[in-house]
Structure formats: C-alpha cells, structure tokens
Amino acid sequence: MSKDFPIFAELLRKNFDAMSATELYFVDVDVNVMWDYYLSAYPEGENPISRERAEHDCSCCKNFIRNVGNIVSLETGVKTTIWDIPNLPYPYDMVAQKMNDYILTFKTKNVYRSSECTQGQGSNTEQTDNGPITWHHFQVKIPSDKVRGEIPTFHSSLESAAKVFERGLNEITIDSLQTIQDLIADKNLYRGAEHSRTISAFKSLVQEYSKLNSDESRNTFVWKNIMSPSARFRNTVIGTLGVDLSDGKGLDDAVRMFESKVAPENYKRPKSLITKAMIQDAVQTLQDNGLESSLSRRFARLQDVSVNNVLFVDNTVKAKMKDGIEGLLMEEVKPAKVNLDNAREIGIEQFMATILPKARSIDMLVKNKHDGNFVSLTSPNEADTNSLFKWDNDFAWSYDGDIADSSIARRVAKAGGRVKGAKMRVSLAWFNYDDLDIHVYEPCGNHISFNNKSGKLDVDMNVGSCGSRKAVENVSWMNTPSDGKYIVKVDNYTKRESIDVGFELEVECNGQVSNYQYGKIVGKSVKSLTLTVKNGIIVEIVSDKNVTGSSAISQNKWGVTTETLVKVNTMMYSPNYWDENVVGNKHWFFMLDGCLNPDSTRGIYNEFLNSDLEKHRKVFEILGDKTKCPVSDSQLSGLGFSSTKKDDVTVLVKTETKTQPYKIVF
C-alpha cells in the first residue's frame, strides 16, 4: 500500500474528531453506491491490484466508508463533510475532493449515531511467503455522546420530528406568532406567559427559515435545529394556536380552543381579543372621521364646562366656568347646626324642580356606602374635536374602578338577592370562576351555608360549570337580627383559577354600609369578620388581620372625608343629557369641593361609542385602557347617581330664607 495512505487516514481522523465536537449527521445516499464511487475516485493506475482485487478495496475500509463516509456537520449552517481535508498528497487529494463534492449533492437524512465505540481498523499485519505486510486502514473513535442502542427507533423518532418541524416552519406565520406574543403581553391569553420563551424561540427560527431560498438550505436548517425543543412546536398546545391563526381561524375561536385545552372546563375569557388587522381597520376609521385627536383625553376642568350645561353652581366657583358670570360672590355664613336625621325625603326630579332653583349652597353627606358612586368627568385634550360618542359633545365620565356603575348590592339584587328591606345583610363578591361559599355562624349556634340556607342565604353562584366573573353570594336578615356575635367565613369549595383572586365582603345594617377586601388566593377557609349586634344594630365589626376595609367610621377617599358634609361645587347631568341630547341612561353628578381622583381613569367606554365606531368595539375596549386620562390636580370629580340604580343621598340646602336637609331618592 502507498506510503502516503496513513497520512490520508490520519488527517481524516483528525477532521472527524474536530467535527465530532458538535452534532453529526449523515446524508441520504446509498452506501453501496457510495463505496463504489469511492473506488472509482482513484485516478487510473493509482489503485493497483493486490492479488485478486484493488489495493484500497479491502473489507475493513469498505465497512468504514459505508458507516462513516456519508457523515456531515451542519454547525455553521453549511454542510461540511469528513472529506473536506486540505493539503493531502496525491492521489488522495483528488479522492477526498471527489468524495466531498459527491456527498454534498445529497440531502441530510438524520442525526448520526453508532452502536460501536470505534469504526474501522487502524492497521493489521499479514504474514506472507515474502514476509509480513502491514496494511493501513481508516479508523475513528466515536464520542460517547454519539454511541447508543436502538438506533432505528431513535432515527424514526427524529424523522417524524423533522416532518413536524418542517410543516411548522412552512405553515405557521410570523404574524400569527406576533399576535400570540401581543396577547401574552396584554395578559389576554390564559396561562400564556408559560409559553413566552417557546414562542420567542420558534419565532426566531421562522424568521431565519423565511430568508432561505433553496431546498438544500432549508433542509440543512431543519436538521441543524432538529434537537431543539422548538422542532416539535407545531404539535404543542401553543403551536396549535399558531396553526389555527395561520389558517385564518377567527381570533376568538382560536384562543377559545387553546384555552379549552389548558384551562378548567368552564374557563371563560375576561377580555376581548384584537389583532393587528383589527387595529389597522379601527385606525383607518378614526382617520376617515377625523377622530384621531379625540383619543387623547384628560380629566375635565371647571373652565371646560359651560354654565348652560349645569343644574346648579355655587357662586364661589361660577366665575371659573366657561361662559361664566363674573361676581355674584355669596357671603360666607356658617350654617346653624341641623339634625340630618330629620331630613325630608324627596325624589330627584321633584328636588330639581322645586328645591334646586332656590339653592344658594348645597352640602352633601358623603357616606361609606357611596364608595362606588365616586365619579370623574373626562374631556378631550384639544377643544372642538369631533365626538367619539353617541352624543354631540366629546365629554364622558368614569366611575371609580373604571366602570359605569359599581355596587355589590346592585350585583346581589341583579342575581335575585334580597337587599331592599333587609335589616342586616352580608354579601360576598369575587371576580373569577372559583366557587366561593359564604358561611355565617349565628349567636344561637346556627351555621348558615349552602347546606343550610336557613331562609337567609338567597344567592349561591358558580356552583356548576356555568359561572360568572362577577359572582356574588348573599345572606340577609329580613327580621331584626338577634343580639350577639356573628362570625363570617369564606371557603373555596372549588378552585378553578389563579387569576383575579381574593374577594370582597359588604355588610349593611341600619343604612350603614361597610366594605372589606381579601386580596390573596382563597384557601379552604378564611375567617373574615366578627359582627357584634346589640339591639338589632351592628355595634362592632372586627376583621381578620388579612382582611382590610372600612366601617361606618369616617374614611378618606379622593380627598373627601366620608360620614361628613362636603360642599357641592356644581351639579349637572351626565354629558349624554347636555343641551338637546337624550341618549341612554341619565346620571346626576354632584361635583364636590376638594374631590380629586388620585388615579388615571378611562376616558373611553364602548357603550359610549358612536355608530361608526361600534364595529371596532374590541379594539376600543383595549384602546380605552391604554389611553387613560393622566392624574391631574385640576378635575371635576364627585358623586354620581344613575337612573338605573335605586340610591339615596342626604344634602343640606341653604336658600335665602332657610337651611333644610333633604334625603334625595334616586
């Protein structure tokens, strides 16, 4: 054998060792044909016959080339063969070059694994009549990480993965993956955050793959990344969402299918979903109607509102209003002490018709029960913008908590619970699909629960699969409650979610309303409140250390001290009833002196949108949350009362001749 063959074998071994530091693959070539090609690669006369066959045609090298000759590396993203060896002596330089070019014509087929720790044989000595002959062969040692059993099963698994991977790269669009990322970022995909890294990793692969322009480069890309977890992305639960969105399935339907796989059986979406296309369509409508500038909103100020759109304005602030009347400053007279318990009951319409026209000043008794009545007036940043709303001005309003009307009692009444006429009431409210249960232990030892309603537990929600995210339970005493201690506990009978956890409790007795909150995940039982009743009245409420809230003791909210009289600066209808507008439900706003909403608030609600924008409701639901009015020291805030809700408030009205308290009923 040629004295230079050992050089060839040694350099090939070194090249194999260097390539083995990374993953190895093999190409889809017939190994028997490859062997024949190897023999034919020798120039004529450079593979002499030794006895019966060519010198290089030995069984040892034949097995080596069949097992190793088609190995490649894809580390750089370009296929590299074990035959890519520079500086070989002749004729092995020509053999290696031909083999390199030949192997590169075939597609990568699978990841290389061997059942043997060594392939080939370094050398052997043959005893002949003419003395011993040493024959040199190819030989490499296979790294331990590339040696394994059950290779056919391993290869079959990877072939299936490659098909899944390739389909995912070709079928799942970058836009669909971006949509999923947007949903996760906006917390609009239940348990979506768990998949953030997976989505990002697969999206990067799709972006790289989309830049490739040949079958060969795409095939190389698939196998180079086949060991990545992303290779099986298409068949994962989040991957099926990408497939559905890429196939054109509606966003809500696609997400609903995803969430049905990862969420409890009765999970329901808390938010609407939007896509880029929906946003672009909504933006185009805004542009077409000249409404872009109307999106930028703030708290309304006193000088924004015309005196023509108010029902009452205190003379001390009238000059500050738009179109206001200068002067007419009333003298400051400390009112005589008045017993508000003797307030005359009067309907709001009668109050406006007979009392309001004569009023020189109004003070309102803001009680703890009015916690949900706090409201702010909002306006556009720029004057004279086109209106987004159903009425012909661009003013709107927002109640505390970014809702139109807020009250646990109202939710209880809507669910069929007894609120009006109850001598004492304890109501539970929560905001997810868990099945919470209220338990009340009466002084006599009676345990009120879903198992023993005692004629007092009248609302029990989220028991079955058809639940609500605004669930309530209610225990009410229509007769005077017995004296003694009442212990209130809350139990989580069925835990279904880990979002929007906690609960609220509202206690009402003798016109006094107290609210308490628990902000943690509810375990099997949370002792919450102990109520002490004497002579049919709650005289003390003691809350658990993890339960916070307010009692009838004065509290401070938005700069207003509750359970005290607060000056009313101005009174007005809601903007949908200004001028000649009569649109939807009417609200009465009492804007209070020193009342300042300390938080940013929504300036846009879907129920306010004009007909041209209603088709974009899903976009505006999210847009309204992203364009909140920033906190301001100049605003019109106070208490609001809706025509859809029974309510009352006590006011002290001073006229030219007298000072009289009234209980206004809505």
- Exposure pattern of 83-117 as b/e (b: 16+ CB <10 Å)? bbbeebeebbeebbbbbbebbbebebbbbbbbeee
Q: What is the mean pLDDT of residues 582-595?
A: 91
Residue 456, both tokens: 């007092």
* Longest pairwise C-alpha distance within the chain: 143
* Greater pLDDT, 562 or 660: 660
Residues ≥6 apart with Cβ < 8 Å to 610: 387, 388, 389, 390
What is the distance between the alpha carbons of residues 661 and 341, in angstroms, rounded to a whole number?
Answer: 9
Looking at residue 167, the DSSP 8-state letter turns out to be H
Question: 186: exposed, middle or buried (C-beta count within 10 Å: 0-12, 13-18, 19+)?
Answer: middle
pLDDT tier, 94 (very low <50, low <70, confident <90, very high otherwise) = very high
What is the distance between the alpha carbons of residues 563 and 364, in angstroms, rounded to a whole number?
Answer: 10
pLDDT tier, 15 (very low <50, low <70, confident <90, very high otherwise) = very high
Q: What is the pLDDT of residue 584?
A: 83
* Greater pLDDT, 311 or 666: 666
Q: What is the mean pLDDT of residues 340-356?
A: 89
Residues above pLDDT 70, as percent of the chain: 85
CA angle 652, 516, 397 (to 5 degrees): 55
Reply yes or no on whether the pLDDT at 265 is more than 60: no
* Greater pLDDT, 10 or 609: 10
Q: With contact defined as beta carbons under 8 Å apart, do 294 and 609 qualify?
A: no
Distances (CA, A) of 459 to 42, 90, 180, 419, 473: 91, 94, 38, 11, 5
Residue 349, both tokens: 């319409």
pLDDT-wise least confident of 242-256, 380-394, 442-456, 531-545: 380-394
**How many C-beta atoms lie closer than 10 Å to residue 491's C-beta?**
16
What is the pLDDT of the chain when averaged over all its residues?
A: 83
Reply yes or no on whether the pLDDT at 7 is more than 70: yes
Amino acid in position 555: Q
